[in-house]
Amino acid sequence: MNEEIAQLTVLQTIDHIIDTIDSQIQEEQDALDNKSAELADRETTIETLTEKIETLEKERRTLEVEIADEMVHVKNRQSKMMQVQTGREQTALLKEIEDAKKGVKEKEEKVVTIMEKVEQLTAEIEENKNLFKGETELLQEETENVKKAITAITKKKKTQEKKRETQAKKLKKQILKKYDTLRQHRNGLGVVKVVNGVCQGCFMTIPPQQYNLLLRGDQHFDCPTCQRIMYYEPVEE
């Protein structure tokens, strides 16, 4: 194999290790971020439930004021009953009293329904608060663990970066720059094998003439499709 290619493939192996380390760090961080988001959602749920209770309680207070007013009204009508003379007036008053009582009963039923709903929501809040507490503690623990994990992974990364630095020195600046640019724009793959006339970077067939030259093993070319640096490695029998 061409010496330059040999050194480049070593470099790329190191780069892939560094890439893997980077994605490990990212994964750890993402998992933590997801848990934080879940916790924030839980907090929002508690807030929403609390607001619902506040609305219901307001409704209940309004109903209670209305009930009290109607009760006063009923009492007034009842005392007026003593004073009325005609049967017609009496009937009218009685109807008014009956209607008011009916109204009071309906409102009292509404109050009961509200109180039941509030009780149910309060229990829901309690449950969410308990979960929130547990999850917060877990997250704190997780954060510590992730911090430690990232520190350990970063240590590994530094070792690989040193290795890379040493390896990069073995290459001419020009080809190194080309390789770095390719890696940036070609999904982390700058140098690729050609197998059976097919570039293993973009999986396009390369012109036969170029392939024949590659088969000699002492040269490398740029893939006409993806521009990656191609090389041929004889298959060991």
Which residue ranges make up the site for Zn ion (CB under 5 A)? Answer: 199, 201-202, 223, 225-226
What region does 231 belong to: left with phi over 0, alpha with psi -120 to 50, or beta?
A: beta
Cβ closer to Zn ion: 171 or 199? 199
Cβ closer to Zn ion: 40 or 195? 195
| Minimum CB distance to Zn ion, residue 204 (Å) | 6
| Minimum CB distance to Zn ion, residue 183 (Å) | 14
Q: Position of tokens 């041929």?
A: 232
| Minimum CB distance to Zn ion, residue 203 (Å) | 7
| Minimum CB distance to Zn ion, residue 210 (Å) | 11
Q: Helix (H, G, I), strand (E, B), or coil: what is residue 193?
A: strand
The one-letter amino acid code at 233 reads E
Cβ closer to Zn ion: 11 or 229? 229
Cβ closer to Zn ion: 166 or 187? 187
Cβ neighbours for 204, distance < 8 A, ≥ 6 positions apart: 198, 223, 224, 225, 226
Q: What is the distance in angstroms between the CA of the first residue and the CA of the last residue of the chain?
A: 16
